[in-house]
């Protein structure tokens, strides 16, 4: 069965889009994340947020292209947070 992704564009509200995707369990494909900036793609705080999302879910799929301007995100199963240890 092929998964259906919601297609979004831009990185202006990236963290909010990822949070809403997580809460609604809707996979997202985000294109053109700051493609014309001096340093295109993700910022360090956004990478840390992706790591957090990966830590709290089991089976989370995060794919980032080589330039960092495209993200494919699919949530796994959310786990409890009591025993999580930051990496």
- Domain assignments of the chain as residue spans, ordered by start: 6-77
Residue 8, pLDDT above cutoff 70:
yes
Q: Distance between CA atoms of 7 and 76, rounded to whole angstroms? A: 19
Contact status, residue 28 vs residue 11, Cβ threshold 8 Å = no
pLDDT greater at residue 11 or residue 48: 48
Q: Distance between CA atoms of 56 and 81, rounded to whole angstroms? A: 7
Q: Distance between CA atoms of 69 and 9, rounded to whole angstroms? A: 10
Over residues 32-82, the pLDDT tens digits come to 999 998 989 999 999 999 998 988 888 899 999 999 999 999 988 887 666
pLDDT of residue 86: 65
């Amino acid at each position: 069965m092929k998964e259906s992704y919601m297609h979004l564009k831009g990185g202006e509200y990236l963290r909010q889009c990822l949070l809403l995707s997580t809460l609604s369990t809707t996979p997202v494909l985000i294109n053109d994340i700051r493609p014309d900036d001096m340093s295109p793609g993700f910022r360090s705080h956004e990478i840390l947020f992706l790591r957090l999302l990966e830590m709290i879910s089991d089976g989370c799929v995060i794919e980032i292209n080589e330039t960092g301007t495209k993200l494919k995100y699919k949530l796994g199963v959310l786990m409890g947070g009591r025993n999580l240890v930051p990496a």
